[in-house]
């Protein structure tokens, strides 16, 4: 399955940009931007999703998540497929993830679907600052 280069921006924003991590918590969110692109080594494809927090003190902040849907590492692909399956079920796709049904239309249907994201903080490593990561998805 080749997904090809796909991207969609569901909004234009003037929100003040800050890249400090938000606190570890569960947040209401939705996908604001999604992009399908090759993996760094060119052997697979990833779905890069930008989630926008939709409520509370951190509404308008963004959390980035990558689903490595086609990857030479079977473990990375298995994790991504499991995460995608959970995400899709949380936003109402009862069948969950099926790589054979994955398409541009399917991707665009995710935009603006409410979901709860459980956010953790990944500690700083070397030159890289601490950042948020989505640890799991839940029904909002």
Give residue 28's pLDDT. Answer: 98
Considering only the top CATH level, what class is 6-10+21-138? mainly beta
How is the chain split into domains, by residue range? 6-10+21-138
Give the model's confidence band at 9: pLDDT under 50 very low, under 70 low, under 90 confident, else very high. low
The three-state DSSP-derived secondary structure of 54-85 is CCCCCCCCEEEEEEEEECCCHHHHHHHHHHHH
The token pair at 29 is: 């969110």
Phi, psi of 139 (to 5 degrees): -70, 135
Q: Nearest 5°: CA angle at 5, between 78 and 86?
A: 30
67-125 confidence digits (pLDDT tens): 999 999 999 999 999 999 999 999 998 888 988 887 767 778 878 899 999 999 999 99
55-68 confidence digits (pLDDT tens): 999 999 999 999 99
Instruction: Out of 2-6, 48-52, 120-124, pick the least confident.
Output: 2-6
How remote is the C-alpha of 55 from its chain's centroid? 18
Give residue 73's pLDDT. Answer: 94
Q: Which of 109, 104, 105 lies closest to 5, judged by CA?
A: 104
Neighbour tally for 120: CB within 10 Å: 14
Give residue 110's pLDDT. Answer: 77
Global pTM value: 0.84
In the predicted structure, residue 43 carries a pLDDT above the cut 70:
yes
Report d(CA 30, CA 91) in Å as an integer. 9
Neighbour tally for 124: CB within 10 Å: 11
């Amino acid at each position: 399955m080749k997904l090809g280069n796909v991207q969609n921006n569901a909004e234009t924003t003037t929100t003040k940009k800050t890249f400090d991590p938000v606190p570890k918590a569960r947040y209401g969110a939705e996908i604001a931007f999604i992009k399908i692109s090759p993996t760094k080594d060119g052997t697979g494809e990833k779905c890069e999703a930008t989630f926008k927090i939709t409520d509370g003190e951190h509404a308008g902040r963004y959390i980035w998540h990558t689903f490595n849907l086609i990857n030479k590492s079977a473990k990375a692909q298995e994790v991504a497929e499991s995460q995608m399956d959970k995400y899709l079920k949380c936003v109402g796709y009862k069948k969950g993830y099926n790589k054979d049904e994955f398409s541009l239309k399917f991707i665009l249907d995710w935009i603006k679907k409410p979901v709860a994201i459980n956010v953790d903080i990944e500690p700083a490593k070397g030159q890289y600052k601490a950042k948020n990561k989505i640890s799991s998805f839940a029904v909002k």
